[in-house]
């Protein structure tokens, strides 16, 4: 790989996110999914004397972002980590509270379009899918080591594939003869698991299973669910949390967490007054998620499923 990383990724809902963060010139901001630094560079253009902490677990993203943000290096700290460690990262920088946090979830265009990363079912490559290339476990380990019941569970729950049971059964049968090593080997197994009529009319047969394996491997939903509450607590008064999701599983988690933070009372509906004592942490500003414009969806097809939700901290 050349010295300069060509981390190609078009930032989705860029203007809407920047507006949603309600940036302050002296503010401190966190981009928890730094990627190619598209959102971060726009934040830094507007933050005059503030600071940005960029977090990503992908080494290639770290290199690319460091190059892109070089002009702003005096007010940027880039950390190779997972955003689930945001509290520890801020503590290490002697930062108690921040004015905004951004998450742009899912897999980047760079990761999808780099064949040897193994994220895409469109290229024949080793089954990898690690967002952190230094992690020990990869997609091949899941495909070859999980029990049939475990495979069924993740394909059903994370891929929402109605043929999950059959796909899991076919994977287990195929690997009994030979370890499944590549994306195209897995493609063929999935293809054989789905009725021909469905294959003709639906999208790519592997899409849902690949999504499921990637989510399981990188603990995407677990990390998201466990982090939202802490991120809200790390915001200053009027600080904003902006989260971009790309599928219904993520969006449901985000929507539920933001609604709970706004209206945390867990008393039964019949109670005349609240006795649980839980307090609101702020306002969920996007009861209806912000979607890409028709123009953006046409220019960048990968943005079509994106949804932006925003929470404002009120102390």
Instruction: Give the CA-trace dihedral at 222, 156, 251, 58, to 10 degrees.
Output: 50
Could you tell me which residues come within 8 angstroms of residue 82 by beta carbon, excluding any fewer than 6 positions away? Answer: 55, 57, 132, 223
- Residue 221 in this model has a pLDDT that exceeds 70: yes
Q: For the structural domain made of 124-218, what CATH number should be given?
A: 1.10.150.170
Classify 14-110+220-313 by CATH class.
Answer: alpha beta
20: phi then psi, degrees, rounded to nearest 5: -65, -30
Residue 81 has pLDDT above 90, yes or no: yes
pLDDT at residue 2 in the model: 37
Buried-exposed string 193-231: b where 16+ CB fall within 10 A, e elsewhere: bbeeeeeeeeeebbebbbbbbbbbbbebbeebeebbeeb
Note the pLDDT tens digit of each residue in 104-133.
998 888 888 899 999 999 999 999 999 999
Task: Report how far residue 114's alpha carbon sits from residue 93's, in angstroms, rounded to the nearest whole number.
Answer: 33
Residue 140, pLDDT > 60, answer yes
Mean pLDDT of 130-159: 97
- Provide the 10 A C-beta neighbour count for residue 136: 7
Contacts with 298 (C-beta within 8 Å, 6 or more apart), sequence order: none
Give pTM, 2 decimals: 0.93
Report pLDDT digits (tens) over 287-303: 999 999 999 999 988 89
Which tens digits make up the pLDDT trace of 260-286? Answer: 999 988 788 888 888 888 899 999 999
Sign (positive or negative) of CA dihedral 79, 84, 88, 90: positive
Q: What is the DSSP letter of 13?
A: T
Domain ranges of the chain: 14-110+220-313, 124-218
The pLDDT score that the predictor gives to residue 272 is 87
By C-alpha distance, which of 224, 228, 288, 309 is closest to 264? 228
Handedness of CA 217, 207, 161, 223 (dihedral sign): positive
Is the dihedral angle over the CA atoms 275, 281, 286, 290 positive or is it negative?
Answer: negative
| 223 confidence band (pLDDT: 50, 70, 90) | very high
Both tokens assigned to 56: 């990503």
Report whether pLDDT(45) > 90.
Answer: yes
pLDDT value of residue 8: 55
The reported pLDDT for the residue numbered 1 is 34
The mean pLDDT of 5-23, rounded to a whole number, is 83
3-state secondary structure of 166: helix
Is residue 3 predicted with pLDDT exceeding 60? Answer: no
Say if 14-110+220-313 and 124-218 have the same CATH topology: no
**76-80/235-245 β-pairing:** unpaired
Residue 219 has pLDDT above 90, yes or no: yes
- The answer to whether the beta carbons of residues 159 and 208 sit under 8 Å apart is yes
Q: At what angle do helices 183-193 and 207-218 cross, to 10 degrees?
A: 130
Mean pLDDT of 164-186: 98
Residue 139, helix vs strand vs coil: helix
């Amino acid at each position: 790989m050349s010295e300069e990383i060509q981390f190609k990724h078009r930032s989705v809902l860029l203007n809407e996110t920047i507006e949603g963060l309600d940036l302050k010139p002296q503010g401190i901001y966190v981009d928890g999914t730094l990627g190619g630094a598209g959102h971060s560079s726009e934040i830094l253009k507007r933050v005059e004397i503030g600071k940005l902490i960029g977090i990503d677990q992908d080494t290639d993203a770290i290199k690319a972002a460091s190059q892109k943000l070089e002009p702003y290096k005096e007010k940027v700290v880039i950390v190779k980590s997972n955003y689930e460690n945001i509290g520890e990262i801020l503590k290490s920088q002697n930062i108690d509270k921040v004015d905004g946090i951004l998450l742009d979830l899912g897999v980047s265009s760079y990761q999808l379009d780099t064949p040897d990363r193994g994220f895409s079912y469109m290229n024949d490559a080793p089954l990898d899918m690690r967002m952190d290339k230094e992690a020990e476990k990869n997609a091949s380990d899941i495909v070859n080591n999980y029990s049939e019941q475990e495979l069924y569970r993740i394909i059903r729950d994370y891929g929402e594939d109605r043929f999950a049971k059959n796909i899991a059964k076919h994977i287990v049968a195929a690997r009994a003869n030979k370890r499944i090593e590549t994306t195209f080997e897995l493609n063929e197994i999935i293809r054989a698991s789905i009725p021909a009529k469905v294959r003709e009319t639906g999208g790519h047969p592997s899409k849902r299973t690949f999504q499921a394996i990637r989510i399981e491997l990188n603990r995407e939903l677990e990390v998201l669910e466990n982090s939202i509450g802490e991120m809200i607590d790390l915001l200053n008064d009027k600080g904003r949390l902006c989260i971009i999701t790309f599928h219904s599983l993520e969006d449901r988690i985000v929507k539920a967490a933001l609604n709970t933070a706004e209206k945390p009372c867990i008393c039964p509906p019949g109670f005349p007054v609240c006795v649980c004592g839980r307090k609101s942490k702020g306002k969920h500003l996007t009861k209806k998620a912000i979607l890409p414009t028709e123009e953006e969806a046409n220019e960048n097809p990968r943005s079509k499923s994106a949804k932006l939700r925003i929470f404002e901290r009120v102390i």
